[in-house]
Structure 1
Amino acid sequence: MRRTVPASTGLRAAVVTAALCLLTVPAVPAAATTVMPASAITTTAPTPATSTTPATPANATPPGVPSDLAATEVSFRGGGGLAMHGTVISPTGAGSARPGMVLVHGAGTGTPREKLMGEAVAFARQGIVVLIYDKRSENYSLFKRSYSLLADDALGALAVLRSQPGVDPAKTGMWGLSEGGWVVPVAAARSSDIAFVVLVGANGLPPLRQQTWAVAAGLRKAGVSGSLIDRAEFNLYRTIADGGMFPEPYYDPEPTIAAVRQPVLGIWGTHDLLTPPEESPPIFARALEKGGNKHYTSRFFPDADHAAHQTPDGGVTRSPELAPGYAELVGSWVGDVTAGRPPASSTSGPAPVQASRTVPVDPPALWESAPVQLTALLLILVAFTGYPVVALVRRLRGRSRPPVAGAARLLSAGGLAAVLGSLSYLFYLVMTGGKLAAPGPVVAERPLLWLLLQALAVASVVATVLTALAWRRARASVSRGEGVRLGLLLAGGVVFVPWALYWGLLLP
């Protein structure tokens, strides 16, 4: 189903695009997009596989596949008929038909299949035939993606896996990591060909709520608190979403999860800094129970990160090694499920570490919407840059110094530096946010740079008052042209005050 984008959304996207171009900073990565509820999802089967060929060169093993496993290159059609390519990795030796599992990537454009080679090898050594494939880059970007389309890709991969020699087509399922935790439930709600579902680091919250938490969690882990997290980062994401540059920020995954009827194994690392590990598992359990599915297992692995890999520093660094017992759990659980012994609902493992709770993220009101934000920003920038430009022109023409100068210059320079500096710093933080947050030196739980920007903001407010007083005292000697110039500058200073309050520059 194609979703029609309202004209207002296109306008808001144009507004935010203009702001981003003005600031010359990269766009913010998006977290998610909409999935239609299961009741609205069609059950059209994916296009069958187009070919199955030996690894290239003939009889060679692709990089990363150990000699004790077999590898076969495959091609298939994904969503929209896109040609896609993958590798089937399987245990060697004859035997009865084995279970099969398609691995679905997390977020990222064109992620190569090798990204999941470690998991694929570990699962294959547990007796599962695994298919990994290169993620699409077509119709997928920071600002555009469709879980429905990604689910079609996964179903196309499943179709070719079911046709492989040595695979029992009745025992094939899907594994999804992170963003794949949104994609795989869509596929499972559509297709009865999926026998089981394994999810790792899956998120049950709206994407915008998850993303604001992830960046805030990374900043908190770096020792930051205060208005930078509570106001600035939070409001930046709301503005970006309002501008249409965050795909489907308010998507609710619960209805689709509730439509999943297959047994579900949910795995979370106790040190997940990208998905709230304390809040997401109960959401999955509640949604599955609501749909009547009581065959789900939740398991937490100690000292493991978002992808259930080992982490030596609380989730910041990801080791190549999987969490001990993770692959064995997947192998035994899949074996039980495909043997007709789906386990009853259960939760096990140590309690996850989640230092802060997520916060609901509501759409901005009209006064704080993206168009209003851009209007205020443009007014401030024109006011603050216009003053020194006129001064430069006057100096070139040899004109005399205006009667109001000192405080006005401070307002112009300080305000401009506070606005451009704070927005640039915020975009830098969200681009490098999450578990790898790098705010720079931190003093009194505030980044030093943020403290300097706050000091500039306070100085600009003081300069606004001083400029108004100086103009009043010297009004008899202020020309009409100079009055217009000062009026515009003071208008920018007045607008700057609520703007700086909204973005946390004037708050502790």
Structure 2
Amino acid sequence: MLLRIALAATVFAAVLFGAPLAHANDLTTTDITFTRSDGTTTTGTIHAPAGATGRPGVVLVHGSGTARSPQYAQVAEALARQGIVALYYDKRTEDYTPAHRDFSLLADDALAGIAALRNRPEVNPAQVGLWGLSEGGWVAPLATSRSADVAFLITIGANSGAPAAQQTWANETRFAAAGVRGSMIDVLARNGIRQIVGAGQFAQADYDPLPVLARIEQPVLAIWGDKDRLTPPGDSLRGFQETFERAGKTNYTLRTLPNAQHGGFTTTDGFDKGEQLAPGYAQLMGNWVNGLPGSATGQVDKPAMQGHSVSPLVRLAWWESTAAQLALLAGTLLALAGYALTGLAETWRLPHALPARILVAAAGIGIVGTVVQLFFVASTRATSFGPLLFGRTLSWVALQLIAVCAAIALGFVIARRRRMLDGAGAGARTRWALVVCGGIGFTLWALYWGLLLP
């Protein structure tokens, strides 16, 4: 009875005074609050071996998104089991959207985490480094390059290329894995991203990480899962290696994890995510950090195989700029709507108007359907698109058939001009011009978006 009372009192005191609670596995967690460079505060959680003092420390830098994913706690715990004190914190959500995010400000937040962890009694302030996942693979190197307080850098799933090119590669990869080919990949996966970038809706689209990597003097451990489907693992490893070699850097290690996905978790195909970290991942980080500086010896694994390499995005030409595309689409819709509305006036109606009606209906359905398809591709990470026909989803085949019908109908309207306009008044001639302009506009638009391409 006395033992239970003493235990309860100990737990109560720990909660009351903010002391860490020891787990049965000899790890502790401590919640902290620290101030960022702009004066705002954020909260974080420290995972540490029980009774740790003077241990190496690492601050975890988030990937994209704003949620506090459980995976960071899982990585932090795994690091603590390796004798490393790990801090993960709530990511900045202010002004963080797909269209805007500031890598520089996020890097300053990571350095604020470094300062907070270096002041903890559990760690050796001279041995505190950064760990960055995915987007953190751009942010953490930038922070490392700015401060000698960062003792080392670890990345997982980092890119050696620009975010927009990486996202295009990821779209192409999941399309190809689903068996999709042809215009769906060539146009939807690539032109869709190019248009988002051109419209200024892709934050940090052209960020170049290589000059930052070349400035880093601290030891670097960069890791990629060999089944990474979001970051090109082989191209990125080669990009890191080439950059370090050009800079004359020797204190780095580049590793490829077998059967691991983007974040270093187990996977069957790179698209799913297991519940556990890939075998050897935590031990690799632990041995490397605890063995510094001797563990950073320039070791480089064989790059992972990729289905295809990353291709840089070509800048939009003036005729395919977002403004030009919107103008073409708006003009097409206005012309088609003008034809439909002026048909309310009986004296304006065209004789033998069936091809024109087919053109208007097909073009309207084609535009709406393609826009929906584009938004779906941009907003989902789906890797299964249902049954395929000739390497195309059934919805895409339907849109292509509709576009072909519209193009054929346009041909009929133009070819039968004399028959349709014989004896017609000015109103009917205006309607004919409207439907032809709308049909030409739709044909140009459909060619750009692949509806009329194989």
Give the TM-score range, shorter chain: over 0.9
Give the AA of the match of 2:35. Answer: R
User: CA RMSD for the aligned pairs?
Assistant: 2.1
* Whole-angstrom CA distance in 2 between matches of 1:60 and 1:126: 19
Residue in 2 aligned with 1:499? 445
Residue in 2 aligned with 1:405? 353
1:90 aligns with 2:48: yes
Equivalent of 1:72, from 30, 45, 68? 30
Contact 1:100–1:161 (8 Å) recurs in 2 = yes
- TM-score under structure 1 length normalisation: 0.83
CA 1:306–1:375: 2 relative to 1, 3 Å: same
CA 1:218–1:79: 2 relative to 1, 3 Å: farther
Contact 2:227–2:259 (8 Å) recurs in 1 = yes
CA 1:445–1:84: 2 relative to 1, 3 Å: same
**TM alignment of 1:108-507, pairs within 5 A:** 108-109=65-66, 111-112=67-68, 114-312=70-268, 314-337=269-292, 340-348=293-301, 351-391=303-343, 393-394=344-345, 402-433=350-381, 436-507=382-453
* Whole-angstrom CA distance in 1 between matches of 2:41 and 2:432: 62
CA 1:55–1:89: 2 relative to 1, 3 Å: farther
Contact 2:355–2:410 (8 Å) recurs in 1 = yes
**TM alignment of 1:46-57, pairs within 5 A:** none
Q: Give the drift of 1:291.
A: 2.5
* Whole-angstrom CA distance in 2 between matches of 1:319 and 1:437: 16
Name segments (4+ residues, structure 1) moved above 4 Å.
53-62, 398-401
CA 1:272–1:239: 2 relative to 1, 3 Å: same
Q: Give the drift of 1:384.
A: 2.2
CA 1:498–1:361: 2 relative to 1, 3 Å: same
Give the AA of the match of 1:426. Answer: L
Give the AA of the match of 2:44. Answer: G
Contact 1:260–1:291 (8 Å) recurs in 2 = no
Give the AA of the match of 1:319. Answer: G
Which structure exhibits the higher relative contact order, with contacts defined as CA atoms closer than 8 Å and separated by 6 or more residues? 1
Instruction: String of CA shifts for 1:356-396, please: whole Å, max 9, x gaps.
Output: 121121211111111000000101111223333333x34xx
Q: Give the drift of 1:404.
A: 3.6
CA 1:247–1:295: 2 relative to 1, 3 Å: same
Instruction: String of CA shifts for 1:289-323, please: whole Å, max 9, x gaps.
Output: 222321111111111100010002x1111012001
Residue in 1 aligned with 2:4? none
Give the AA of the match of 1:153. Answer: D
Instruction: String of CA shifts for 1:445-478, please: whole Å, max 9, x gaps.
Output: 1111111111111111110011122332131232
Range with greater deviation from structure 2 (272-281 or 65-74): 65-74
Residue in 2 aligned with 1:102? 59
Q: Give the drift of 1:55.
A: 6.3
* Whole-angstrom CA distance in 1 between matches of 2:127 and 2:96: 30
For 2:300, what is the secondary structure of its paired residue? strand
Say which one has the larger Rg: 2
Contact 2:134–2:157 (8 Å) recurs in 1 = yes
Q: How many residue pairs get matched?
A: 442
Q: Give the drift of 1:492.
A: 1.3
CA 1:438–1:82: 2 relative to 1, 3 Å: farther
Give the AA of the match of 2:451. Answer: L
Give the AA of the match of 1:484. Answer: T
- TM-score under structure 2 length normalisation: 0.93
Contact 1:453–1:505 (8 Å) recurs in 2 = yes
